[in-house]
Amino acid sequence: MKKSENWVEDCNRLARTVRVHCLRMTHRGKSGHVGSMLSMAEILSVLYTRVLRVDPKRPKWAGRDRFVLSKGHGGCAVYAVLGELGFFPKRWFNGYYRDNGKLMGHISHHVPGVEFSTGSLGHGLPVAVGMALAARHAGKTHRVICLMSDGDCDEGSTWEAILFAAQHKLDNLTVIVDYNKVQALGYSKDVLDLEPFARKLEDCHWAVKEVDGHDVVALDEALSKLPFEQGKPSWLICHTVKGKGVSWMENTVSCHYGSVTDEELARALRELEVTQ
């Protein structure tokens, strides 16, 4: 996929486009979770342009990499990427979260290109583990990548899967955490502190790396060499900012649920240097 020499620019442009789509869709649908979408824009743009082997013309292609979004509340951002890549017509964006629309608030496998539906946290990783187990058993070389949130890591089921994946040395499995450090009711450190996050996972026998989750070069560098270590599942902690790209949303708890007003949309688009 490394076609363009200006891939960094292209990647950043796609991330910005994702942010714009998310703001417009959530504004139109009067829905929340926009902060959780904005924090993972670069992660998604790098994944879909540099890492994942997927084909918009053949969404069910057997050799595709499996991408499971466990933080299903951020599904709108995945829809934005999939629409941009041509998995479905971009006019579907108009129906996000609206009557008779095709895009429901939490990510749905009924949308072409979406591997699995989630929405209740702690579901993605166990399923991704099962997919990785089956792939290895069948001798398949596709990878399984699961994108999770801070809140996902509160769930007991996630830790059950962490133990299991390491026990079975699933090195075809990669977890990416959009570690924006804010959850529904507060800052993660005040709710359930995950720190020392990397050490916890290392102690659970995962290979761990940490990057700036808004630095597409750093993301690309980390994800270009999978697994991080043979015989271990890979865990990439992406340090991100909730609400990234919209100044008054950044690192706030309120942008988890709040929807975007007309005035806020106009201001946000100006900040993102969108003229129309």
Partner 1 sequence: MRTLFNKVLVDIAKKDKRIWMILADIGYGEIEPFRDAFPDRWFNCGVAEQNMTGVACGVAMEGNIAITYSIANFPTLRCLEQIRNDVCYHNANVKIVIIGGGLAYGPLGVSHQATEDIAIMRALPNMVVFCPCDFAEADAGVHAMIAHRGPFYYRCGYKKEPPVHKGKIAFQLGKAIQVRDGTDATIFFTGTIGNQVLPAAEALEKRGIHCRVVSLHTVKPIDRKAIVKAARETGAIITVEEHQLQGGLGSAVSEVLCDEGVMPKKFLRIGLPDVYVSKVGTHEWLLNEYGLSTPKIAASIRKLLQ
Measure Cα distances from 208 to 30, 181, 197, 226 in Å. Answer: 37, 18, 10, 11
114 near partner 1 (CB under 8 A): no
Q: Minimum distance from CB of 129 to partner 1 (Å)?
A: 5
Torsion of CA 242, 243, 244, 246, to 10 degrees: -160
- Our finding on whether 141 is near partner 1 (CB under 8 A) is no
Cα–Cα distance for residue pair 122/30, rounded to 1 Å: 26
Binding mask 163-202 for partner 1 (x = CB under 8 A): xx---x----------------------------------
Of the candidate spans 27-35, 76-84, 135-143, 180-188, the one that interacts with partner 1 by CB under 8 A turns out to be 135-143
Among 18, 51, 81, 132, binds partner 1 (CB under 8 A): 132
Q: Which is nearer to partner 1, 192 or 266 (CB)?
A: 192
Query: Does residue 130 bind partner 1 (CB under 8 A)?
Result: yes
Shortest Cβ distance from residue 250 to partner 1 (Å)? 31
Residue 2 or 137 with smaller CB distance to partner 1: 137
- Asked if 137 is part of the footprint of partner 1 (rule: CB under 8 A), the reply reads yes
Distance CA 77, CA 132 (A): 24
Q: Which of 68-101 are b and which e, b meaning 16 or more Cβ less than 10 Å from the residue's Cβ? A: bbbbbbbbbbbbbbbbbeebbeeebbebbbeeeb
Do 227 and 172 contact (CB within 8 A), yes or no? yes
Hey, is 175 helix, strand or coil? strand
Exposure b/e, 19-42, CB count within 10 A at least 16 = b: bbbbbbbbbbbebbbbbbbbbbbb
157 lies in the binding site for partner 1 (CB under 8 A): yes
Interface with partner 1 includes 235 (CB under 8 A)? no
Contact residue for partner 1 among 6, 9, 13, 120 (CB under 8 A): 120
**Among 27, 33, 123, 181, interactor with partner 1 by CB under 8 A:** 123
Q: How far apart are CA 172 and CA 93, in angstroms?
A: 33
Binding site for partner 1 (CB under 8 A): 109, 116-120, 122-123, 125-135, 137-138, 156-157, 160-161, 163-164, 168
